[in-house]
Amino acid sequence: MQNFTMRSSRAFSSRAGIFVLACLLVGCSAVRLGYSNGETVVYWWLNSYVDFESDQTPWVKRHISHLFDWHRKTQLDDYAKLLTQTQQQLQRKVTPADVAADYDALKKRMLIVIDKAIPELTDLALSLQPQQIAQIEKKFESNNEKYRKEYLQGDLEQRQHVRYKKVMKQAEYWFGNFSAEQEARIRAASDARPANFEAHMAGRMRRQQEMVALLRKIQVEKPKHETAMRMLRTYVTATMVHFGDEKQKAVADAYADSTVQLSVMIINMATPQQTANAMTRLQKWIDDCRSMAGKEG
């Protein structure tokens, strides 16, 4: 089911770096926030990393607005169809293949957004000043410190508890409350996933360092727009294969597989009432997608 594969897809999206992730927020959040608020949120989120100059703000906001308009007109109806398929899945037992297919479907749609956004992201990369790149690096460090506090402090049980609570937050959003027995099963399945917190941190920092190095290279060399676009596309492609690091890829694949199994278990153990809750939640998303797709920008 998509709600749980969304967690894996968010992990995938983070590999694409700060600018790509900002665009992916269009797909993940805009329907729930409303497109006007969504544009503000994306700008605010980007600004927290970049700290835009006054002359950058107008065209950055314009690019974001155009991306939202394109996304609403061309993508939301397809999202509604995909969510409807997910509803149909809930009417039977799901399999790991079902969940893996949902993940692939989400990744495909994310790549469509990335591809659309690359020219505008290139404009942004070419406009960055040295102090803004330093600000991005500082923001990365702040985010990493938060991750360390959540996942790299305390013993293994404490780390797994934090991870389990995030799983429960997602599960309860869709299904509602769970019984003590169900929560125990979810905790056991969550804890069974690889405890690769340090490996995840290492991969995360590597991607950030590559992003910062790329932005500095663009800032110093000031390549032509087409050349800078190719550089950004190469970065995005490299993140998908963990920059050719087979060990990192193996770690990520193992974790993704274990998360698929966890998702299948949660979905299939849901009571009829919990499944009805998820169906209702999905229908709201479907209705939102269809409503927003029909609005003029």
* pLDDT for position 52: 95
Cα 295 from Cα 126, distance rounded (Å): 33
Please give the pLDDT value at position 224.
Answer: 97
pLDDT higher than threshold 50 for residue 22:
no
Quick one: how far is CA 38 from the chain centroid?
Answer: 15
- Name the band, by pLDDT with cuts 50, 70 and 90, for residue 297: low
Distances in whole angstroms, Cα of residue 213 to Cα of each of 16, 166, 208, 239: 14, 32, 9, 14
Percent of the chain at pLDDT > 70 equals 86
pLDDT at 159 over 90: yes
Task: For residue range 3-20, list pLDDT tens digits in order.
Answer: 433 343 333 333 333 443
**3-state SS track over the chain:** CHHHHHHHHHHHHHCCHHHHHHHHHHHHHHHHHCHHHHHHHHHHHHHHHHCCCCCCHHHHHHHHHHHHHHHHHHCHHHHHHHHHHHHHHCCCCCCHHHHHHHHHHHHHHHHHHHHHHHHHHHHHHHHCCHHHHHHHHHHHHHHHHHHHHHHCCCCHHHHHHHHHHHHHHHHHHHHCCCCHHHHHHHHHHHHCCCCCHHHHHHHHHHHHHHHHHHHHHHHHHCCCHHHHHHHHHHHHHHHHCHHHCHHHHHHHHHHHHHHHHHHHHHHHHCCHHHHHHHHHHHHHHHHHHHHHHCCCC
pLDDT score recorded for residue 255: 87
Q: Which of 135, 150, 264, 266 is nearest to 200 (CA)?
A: 150
Sign of the C-alpha dihedral computed for residues 126, 132, 134 and 140 taken in this order: negative
Q: How many CA atoms lie within 13 A of 223 on its CB side?
A: 15
Of the candidate ranges 36-50, 60-74, 259-273, the one whose mean pLDDT is the lowest:
36-50
In sequence order, the 6+-apart residues with CB closer than 8 A to the CB of 226 are none
Return the pLDDT at 19.
Answer: 41
Burial (CB < 10 A; 0-12, 13-18, 19+), residue 128, is: buried
Per-residue model confidence (pLDDT) at position 26: 39
CB 68 within 8 A of CB 38: yes
Q: State mean pLDDT over 100-107.
A: 84
Each residue of 52-95: pLDDT tens digit? 999 999 999 999 889 888 988 998 899 899 899 989 988 899 99
Token representation of residue 94: 């799901």
Q: What are phi and psi of 183, to 5 degrees?
A: -60, -40
- Per-residue pLDDT tens for 197-248? 998 898 889 989 999 999 999 999 999 999 999 999 999 888 877 666 777 7
Q: At which residue do the structure tokens 């770690």 appear? A: 251
Give the CA distances from residue 46 to residues 71, 72, 141, 288, in Å, rounded to whole numbers and listed in that order.
18, 20, 16, 25
What confidence score (pLDDT) does residue 237 get?
84
> What's residue 93's pLDDT?
92
Domain count for the chain, please give it. Answer: 1
In Å, how far are 76, 102, 119 from 67, measured between CA atoms? 13, 24, 11
Tell me the pLDDT of the chain averaged across its residues. 84
Each residue of 280-291: pLDDT tens digit? 989 988 888 888
Residue span of the structural domain in which 139 resides: 2-293
R_g of the chain, CA atoms, integer Å: 20
Give the phi and the psi of residue 193 in degrees, each rounded to 5. -70, 155
